[in-house]
Amino acid sequence: MIRQYELVEKIKSYDPDADEDMINRAYVFAMKAHGAQKRASGDPYFSHPVEVAYKLTQFKLDTASIVTALLHDVVEDTEVSLDDIEASFGREIRGLVDGVTKLSRLEGKSENLKQAENFRKLLIAMSEDLRVLLVKLADRLHNMETLGHIKSPEKRQRIARETVEIYAALAERIGMRHVKEELQELAFKELYPEARESIIKRLDYLREQGAAELEKTKAIIEEKLHEAGLANAQIIGREKKPFSIWKKMEGKNTSFEQLTDIVAFRIVVGDIAECYQALGAIHAQWHTIPGRFKDYISTPKSNGYQSLHTAILGPGQQRIEIQIRTEAMDEIAEYGLAAHWAYKQSGHPLKDGKQFRWIRELLEILDKSSNPEEFLENTKLEMYQDQVFCFTPKGDILAFPRGATPVDFAYGVHSGVGDTCVGAKINGRIVPLRTKLKNGDQVEIITSKTQTPSPTWERFVVTGKARSEIRKYVRTQQRTEYIALGRAILTKTFKQENEDFSEKMIEPHLPHFGKKEVDDLLADVGEGLLSRQQVTDVVIGQKKPQNNSGVGSVISNFTNPFRKKKSAAGAPMPIKGLIPGMALYFAGCCHPIPGDRIVGIVTTGKGVTIHTMECETLENYADAPERWIDVAWERDHMEGGHIARLRAHVSHEPAALATVTNVIAKENGNISNLKIINRSTDFFEILLDIEVRDLRHLGNIIAGLRSKEVVQNVERYQT
C-alpha cells in the first residue's frame, strides 16, 4: 500500500503548490473512517482509496481531486456523512465526493435500475465538474484490477460488461486512450478469456517471427524522414491491444490473419507543419492504400484527439498503418482531458462540464427519457466509438456514430430541426431519410412547420439523442390520445347518468384520485388505469356495483393510439391478461386477428406487442421469458376490421386479379393494401392485406380463393 509521505511526494513533484496539509488530513480521515474494513481480497479496505489517489497522480491532477479519491468511499461505506466532509474539507470537496458516491437506498431494485440510477447521478455530477469522472475512472480501474477476488461469476460478468459499455466509452469520450484500453483489457479477460488467450498467443508468435522485420521497417522509415529534414522525429512501434483486435474481427467478420493494422508506427514531430512534411515524405516513398487517409488535425475528434492517419504498402509490400502527430497531440491522445492545457490553468475551467457538446447531449437525453433505464439505453447508443464526420451547409463539422442517418444529423443540429425534418440532401442530392451517412458528407435538412416526428424513425436512427426525442414525442402523442379518449368515455358515461360532463365537475375531486390536473385523470381513464365507474361513483355519487372481475374490465377502455381496433359499437377491442396501463401494439410481422393463439411481449419503453404463437419473431425472445405475457382475446368473435396478410400465386392471364378481388368482396373482406412482389411469364406473386372480423372469416376467404383455377396457392404470410 502507498505510504502517506510517498503520496504527498508524488503530488509535490508536479505541483509544488499542492495543499500538503489537506492531503495529509484526508489520508488520516479516510484511514480512521474505514478502520478494520476488509476488501474481498482480504486487504485493508483503505488500500483501495489510496491506490485510486495514486492513479490520479499519474494524470497530475490537483489537490481537490486527490483528496476526493481518498474520501470517495467513506460516505457510502462508513458512518461519515456529507456534512462531516464539508465541515472538515469544505464545500468543493463535499460536492466532488457526493458526485462519486453511489446512490443509497436502492435495495430491492433490479441491477439494471441500480446501474441506470447511479449513472444518471454520475452524469449530473460530472456536468458540474469533470473531475468527478476522472476520479470515477481511476476508481473503476482499480476495482477491475482486483475483480478476480469477487466470488460470484455473475457479478464479475456484470461489472466487466458495465465497464466496457459505460466507463471505457466515457474514457474514450474524454480522450484517455490509456485508461480506456486498460479497462477494456481487464474486462476482456473476464468476459471472453478463451478469445483473449487465443489472440495473445498469435501476437506472441508474430513478435517472434516479425521482430527483425519490424526493426528493419522502422529503420527505413527513419532514414526517409532524415532525408526529408526531420532528423528529430521519433518513431515508435505500436501494437494493437487484444480487445481492439477482437472487436475489429467481430465488427468486420474477418480473421486474425486478414487484419492489416495489428502493428502500426507512430511518428512524433515538433509542430503541425512537420506533421504534414512527414506525411509528404512517407507518401512520396510508398504507395498509399486508398480510403485509409484521415486528417484528424484539421478535423479533430470530439474528444480533442488530433493526428494524421495513413496506410501504405511499405517495404516488402507489407501494409503498414502510420500515425503522425506532435508531442502535445501525443500526450492528449494518451491522457485526454487530464493532459489538456486548460486543466493546468488556475480556476479549473473544466469544472463546467456542460461546455462539452457530448455532455450537453447526454443531459438532453436525460431530460427526454421517461425512466433511468431508457436513459441508460440511449446513452449507450450515444457513446459509440466509431464515428463519421459530416458538414452542415455552413461548413460546421458534426460527429456521429457510424451508421447514422439524416434524421440523426437533424437532431444533432437541434431538436427542433429533427422534429420538423421532411427530407434531406447529401452532397446536393435528395436521399431517403434512412440513408447512412459517410465521412465528409455535406448534409442539408429540409424542414416543414407542419411536420412531426414519425414513430417509424426509431427503427433506423442510431443516436441516443434522436431516439429519446422521438420517444418523447410518441409519449406526448399517446398522452394526448389518452386524454381525448378519457374525455369521450366520461362524456358518454355522464350522459347515461343524465349529467352533462364538464371539467369543473371533476376539479374538486382530484385530490381523491391523487391528481393535480384534470388531464392527468382523463389520461388514466383513457389508458385504462382508472375505470369510468370509479369516477362517476365519486363525482356523481351514485354507487353502483363495479365489475372487478379482472384485467379485462380495466383494459376494456384501452385503445392503441397508433393502430385502433374497435367493434361495430365503437368500443375498443379488449385483450385479457394485460398489465393495466401498458400501451398495446399488434405485431406487423404476423398480423394477429381474433381466433389466433396469441402471446404478449413486453418491450422496454413501448408497452406490449401482441404476436401469434406461431410467429417466427418469438425466437428472438426465447432467452427472455420474463418478457412474455399470457394473453387471450376477450371474445372468440369480434366485429370490426383486423388486418391479416396473405400471399398468393396467381396465373398471369386476363381478369385473374379481378377474380381475386371479387372473391374477397363476396366474402365481405376489404383489401387495404395489395403489392405485386414477384412476376414471371406464367405467374405473379402478390401480397394482400385484408380487413377481416376474425380467423373464421379469414378461413372463408382463403377457401374461396383456393377454389378458383387462376389461384395456384394462397397462405397467410409472415414478414
Tell whether 542 and 677 lie within a shared domain. no
The residue-averaged pLDDT of 266-293 equals 89
Q: State the first-to-last Cα distance of the chain, in angstroms, to the nearest integer.
A: 61
pLDDT, one tens digit per residue, over 51-88 is 999 999 988 888 999 999 999 999 888 889 999 999 99
Contacts of 346 by beta carbon, 8 Å cutoff, 6+ apart: none
Tell whether 214 and 92 lie within a shared domain. no
The Cα-based distances of 76 to 88, 100, 102, 531, 615 in angstroms read 17, 10, 7, 44, 48
Q: Kindly report the CATH number assigned to the domain that includes residue 339.
A: 3.30.460.10
- Least Cα distance to 365 among 357, 354, 376 occurs for 376
Tell whether 659 and 672 lie within a shared domain. yes
List the grid coordinates of 284: 512520396
pLDDT at 503 over 90: no
Beta-strand ranges (E) seen in 226-361 are 234-239, 263-269, 287-288, 294-295, 308-313, 319-326
The residue-averaged pLDDT of 361-390 equals 56
Output the average pLDDT for the chain.
79
Residue 555 lies in a domain: no
Domain end among 178, 193, 208: 193
Contacts of 351 by beta carbon, 8 Å cutoff, 6+ apart: 128, 129, 130, 131
Tell whether 339 and 482 lie within a shared domain. no
pLDDT score of 183: 93
Tell whether 125 and 52 lie within a shared domain. yes
pLDDT at 123 over 70: no
Tell whether 170 and 83 lie within a shared domain. yes
What residue numbers bound the domain in which 527 lies? 464-546
Tell whether 157 and 295 lie within a shared domain. no
- Least Cα distance to 124 among 364, 435, 302, 337 occurs for 364
pLDDT at 342 over 50: no
- Against a cut of 0.75, is the pTM above it? no
Q: Kindly report the CATH number assigned to the domain that includes residue 674.
A: 3.30.70.260
**Residue with cell string 506472441:** 204
Round to whole Å and give the CA distance between 693 and 453: 32
Round to whole Å and give the CA distance between 175 and 579: 45
The residue-averaged pLDDT of 288-313 equals 84
CA 25 to chain centre: 42
Check: CB of residue 406 under 8 Å from CB of residue 445: yes
Round to whole Å and give the CA distance between 470 and 457: 8
Domain end among 193, 217, 241: 193
pLDDT at 231 over 60: yes
Tell whether 150 and 19 lie within a shared domain. yes
Tell whether 145 and 163 lie within a shared domain. yes
**Residue with cell string 380467423:** 695
pLDDT, one tens digit per residue, over 445-472 is 998 888 888 888 888 888 878 888 888 8
Tell whether 159 and 213 lie within a shared domain. no
pLDDT score of 105: 38
Round to whole Å and give the CA distance between 690 and 669: 6
Check: CB of residue 175 under 8 Å from CB of residue 332: yes
3-state secondary structure at position 130: coil
pLDDT score of 54: 92
Residue 291 lies in a domain: yes
Check: CB of residue 322 under 8 Å from CB of residue 234: no
Task: Name the percent of the chain lying above pLDDT 90.
Answer: 16
Tell whether 471 and 499 lie within a shared domain. yes
Check: CB of residue 364 under 8 Å from CB of residue 358: no
Residue 168 lies in a domain: yes
The total domain count for the chain is: 4
pLDDT, one tens digit per residue, over 632-650 is 887 644 555 788 999 998 8
Residue 539 lies in a domain: yes
CA 664 to chain centre: 45
Domain end among 303, 319, 343: 343
pLDDT score of 566: 36
Q: For 553, phi and psi rounded to 5 degrees?
A: -70, -35
DSSP letter string over 501-554? --HHHHGGGHHHHT-SSHHHHHHHHHHTSS-HHHHHHHHT--------S-HHHH
List the grid coordinates of 66: 486527490
Tell whether 68 and 210 lie within a shared domain. no
Residue 207 lies in a domain: yes
- Least Cα distance to 348 among 556, 517, 128, 199 occurs for 128
| Residues belonging to the active site | 76-77
Higher-confidence position of 624 and 139: 139
The residue-averaged pLDDT of 485-497 equals 83
